[in-house]
Structure 1
Amino acid sequence: MADPTPVFDDLRAESDELDRLVAELSPGQWSLATPAPRWTVAHQIAHLAWTDHAALLAVTDADAFGKEVEKALAAPETFVDEGAEEGAGKPPAEILAAWRAGRKALDDALRAAPAGARFPWYGPPMAAASMASARLMETWAHGQDVADALGVVRTPTDRLRHVARIGVRARDYAFAIRGLTPPTEEFRVELTAPSGEVWTYGPEGALQRVTGPAHDFCLLVTRRAHRADLAVRAEGEDAERWLDIAQAFAGPPGADREPKGDAA
């Protein structure tokens, strides 16, 4: 079994980078609208604190987490917004403190988890490393919303490998969540990492192919940019359809981002 420590370290680094982005914001900046409808910067950080808390319950108190799942099933279209709204109503200093404390507690719990343990989630149960990868994906995606609201251009890192991997593995889910039958054949995905390394997934000889910059692919599968603005390309009818619906996260896909008109 691979050592999960590097994944935990990457999650910590991703969170710290976003923390530096918001730590010195003024109250007015916390109220800035982000690309997510009706969500401010405060909503974004409050949401991360809320999901970190849910993940901590999943790792440390399965019964308590089960009650959170019941809430989600009772209101699948609104429970995420409701969680963010509750936290966003607090003063920025409290939001930031709660996020910092929660992610530290989760980091400690993941590092202390027994080898081979699996924990419940809103989708299939996950190992500690998978839980950390999922938290990194969300932290990066919501951090992109914050950066967009602030007009900040972030420098991509190879931590995106976690986001890209989830996006590839979630291919069939993206079809199923929309009531579509997933393709039966595997795709070949080739992505150029920020470091210049090429990350590959699927059989080399597959007829259905997706290629492009890893950063663009991650924006696509987290639905943080419109496909028309990204340099991700598909070969094959099924691959083309996938790029229109791809998503790396569980639950409803949410509103699509509008194209900016400066396609890559």
Structure 2
Amino acid sequence: MTQIDLTGRRALVTGGAQGLGEGMARALAAAGARVVVADLQDDLGPKVAESLGDGHGFVHLDVTDDDSWGAAVGRATGILGGLDIVVNNAGVEITSLIVDLDPAAVRKQLEVNLLGTALGIKHAFRAMREQKSGVVINVASVAATIAFPGIAVYSATKSGVDRLTRVAAMESGKLGYGVRVNCLYPGLVPTAMGAGLANDVARIGLFGSPEEAVGAVVELTPSGRLGEVADMADAVVFLASDAARFINGAGLPVDGGMGM
């Protein structure tokens, strides 16, 4: 999305070592922002940051840990000289029928997807409120708006991300922080997570094969295809830009119409 200029903006992207997060980090950098990739993957993350060029960086981050957030944001602001954009992208999906739910898997999704996003908003606000400007973009999912079998807990956590987004935007406004908070609802993208979901819903008997599961998703999508990483990354660049300056507390579907 080269027509949007984010030169001078400073961004942190969680889960930026691969998949959607990597694509978002690359798109922000291509638009002119300096980017810190934040991830648990200390092998992949630095390589992504290095490939972005000079002025970018990597920080280790466990999004479920408050102290890790504090340290990561401190290091990121040291690298960048401040912080203007936080993309709370890190997430996990563990497929299961409700009758087979594993409490440990439920807790993991709650902690990464919901607690991780809440802590990301907390530390973004603390880093940005004095400058009275900034943008937080939370990554929810089309799963927050549809009833797709096998992903009940994931869907619930992503619905929670939507509510967190809206309340956070209101708090920011009421307290005069000047930070916009929005979220996007990606459709299914054939990243490692998306491919894993197709395999998993077939494995537990909801579809005859992964290909059948993908076909069902496409059938539900008016645009007639799966999403691409670039579709989601371009939406993040837009929400981070001044072109979205009066968009606040909103959820942007980037799902080809699947969740309408």
Output the TM-score relative to the length of structure 2.
0.27
Structure with greater proportional strand content? 2
